[in-house]
Structure 1
Amino acid sequence: MSLLDVGFLVVAGFFAGVVGFVTGLASIVSYPALLAVGLSPVAANVTNTVAMVGVGVGALSNSAREVAATGRKLVRWTVWAAVGGTLGATILLVAPAGSFETVVPFMVAFASLALILQPRIRALSGGRDLSRTYTFSVFLVAIYGGYFGAGAGVIFLAASLILTSESVWRATILKSFLLGVANLVAAVGFAVFGPVHWGAAVAMAVGAVAGGWCGPPLVKLVPPTILRIVIALAGFGLAGWLWLR
């Protein structure tokens, strides 16, 4: 890679970090950027997973107190996110190419619709916390996050807002942390067995850490309803892009 490519990836990583924390759509910025500098689709996918660990690192450094305030249940969710991320990475490394990607646009579109309808769905549930269902959803979304990841944050956010009583702010914090765990364990597997382009991964991760750090205070400035709707609309856009590409 040239120095221009490195600079481009640092900038792309920063915007991916901001977009990733705020909307959960980091890969819509980072993945095309990696393709643009010449990586193959598989190398771009695994390199993207490694680099996007930086988003979680940056965000956690600016929201550790809020994450810790979740309490003991966070330990359970973290374990299941780690198991799911490991399984997703394994599927990517051993399954035929494209075996899972056909359903991805529908998953992202469904999660986006759920975000739009979240107040109504929560009302129908009586506002109860569905803890076991949420734990299972963390596991499933972490599998997807470890496998491909584009739109995983939208799905995490939708699950948090529908299955728990967390606010949009708290749900965004949890989404970033749990998806970061899934990315981290998947990244470890890719580092050993996958075609990671380390120069690209490091360059993008530097920007992603800075972008992730900027995310928490930015989310606080946006009204929750507007944020939820914007994320849902962006998710529909991502679903369309994934369907057409």
Structure 2
Amino acid sequence: MDLLQSALILLAGVGAGTINAAVGSGTLITFPTLLAFGVPPVTANVSNTIGLVPGSLAGAWGYRRELAGQRGRILRFGVAALIGGAAGAVLLLVLPPGAFEMIVPVLIGLGVLLVITGPRISAWVAKRHGEAPDDGSERWWVWPSVALLGVYGGYFGAAQGVLMIAIIGIGVAESLQRLNALKNILVAIANGISGLIFALVADVDWKIAALIAVGATIGGLLGARIGRKLPPVALRAVIVVVGLTALVAFLIG
């Protein structure tokens, strides 16, 4: 890996960390970048997952004020994210690499679709929160849904944040800013446990993981501060273009 490739991976990490803290779907920036440099898909996935964990933690730290008073909720849903993330990591490791290569185009396509429909999801959730009091009540199905999203995140995780904010936004009567802070914590937990498993038993490219980690940490702090001020149309357009490029590369490769 030459200096230019290292710099581009670092910048991709910054972009992914910023996007993850503000919205989600940063994997659609880093993962295709690694594929473009010839990194094998499974190695790219596990290295990317490990690298993005510090960015999620940085984003959570940036939203620490919004996390005040949510300790019980973090513990409850954190257990679900932990179990799901571990299960997803195990699935990635026990299934043959060919299965991952077959499933990834579907997951990338789903991620791109969620990024495109994200504004409608956000608008629907915002409307619901405008009509219901933020009394902290929770629907029973949120816990198993968070666990299932943890499985998805442990296995691949593109647009995991978009899905997570949609689920908890529908099922938890709380302000969107506080829910976004909670989303960052839950994604960090799911990615953290899967990353730990990958670090112990998977084929990790530690240089790639380190570059993404440094970039994602910077991006996570930036995303928590300025992510909501970024032009959403331009941001989503970049993600969609990168995701579609990766999808085409998989289909014709």
Hey, what's the Cα distance between the residues in 2 that align with 1:235 and 1:160?
23
- 1:86-136 deviation digits (Å, cap 9, x = unpaired): 000001111241365465344774674544533566689998844321111
Contact 1:63 1:173 (8 Å CA) reproduced: yes
Contact 2:25 2:161 (8 Å CA) reproduced: yes
2:189 corresponds, among 170, 181, 185, to 181
| Residue identity opposite 1:117 in structure 2 | W
Contact 1:116 1:232 (8 Å CA) reproduced: no
Contact 1:115 1:232 (8 Å CA) reproduced: no
Q: Structure 2 matches for 1:1-245, cutoff 5 A?
A: 1-96=1-96, 97-98=99-100, 100-101=103-104, 104=107, 105-106=109-110, 109=113, 112=118, 114-119=121-126, 129-219=137-227, 221=229, 245=250
Hey, what's the Cα distance between the residues in 1 that align with 2:50 and 2:222?
20
Segments of 5+ residues of structure 1 without an aligned counterpart are: none
Hey, what's the Cα distance between the residues in 2 that align with 1:174 and 1:231?
22
Change (3 A) 1:12 1:220: closer
Identity %: 30
- 1:133-161 deviation digits (Å, cap 9, x = unpaired): 11111111111001001111110011122
With normalisation by structure 2, the TM-score equals 0.81
Q: Return 117-126 or 196-205, whichever deviates more.
A: 117-126
Contact 1:9 1:34 (8 Å CA) reproduced: yes
Contact 1:109 1:239 (8 Å CA) reproduced: no
Contact 1:154 1:235 (8 Å CA) reproduced: no
- 1:36-68 deviation digits (Å, cap 9, x = unpaired): 332111111111101110211211332334324
Contact 1:46 1:190 (8 Å CA) reproduced: yes
Hey, what's the Cα distance between the residues in 1 that align with 2:33 and 2:42?
14
Change (3 A) 1:108 1:36: closer
- 1:161-198 deviation digits (Å, cap 9, x = unpaired): 21112323222211111101100100011111111100
> Offset at 1:214?
1.1
SS of 1:132's partner is coil
- 1:5-51 deviation digits (Å, cap 9, x = unpaired): 22222111111111121120111111112123321111111111011
Change (3 A) 1:239 1:134: farther
SS of 1:52's partner is helix
Q: Aligned residues, how many? A: 241
Contact 2:28 2:243 (8 Å CA) reproduced: no
With normalisation by structure 1, the TM-score equals 0.83
Hey, what's the Cα distance between the residues in 2 that align with 1:135 and 1:83?
11
Segments of 5+ residues of structure 2 without an aligned counterpart are: none
Change (3 A) 1:231 1:82: farther
RMSD: 3.1
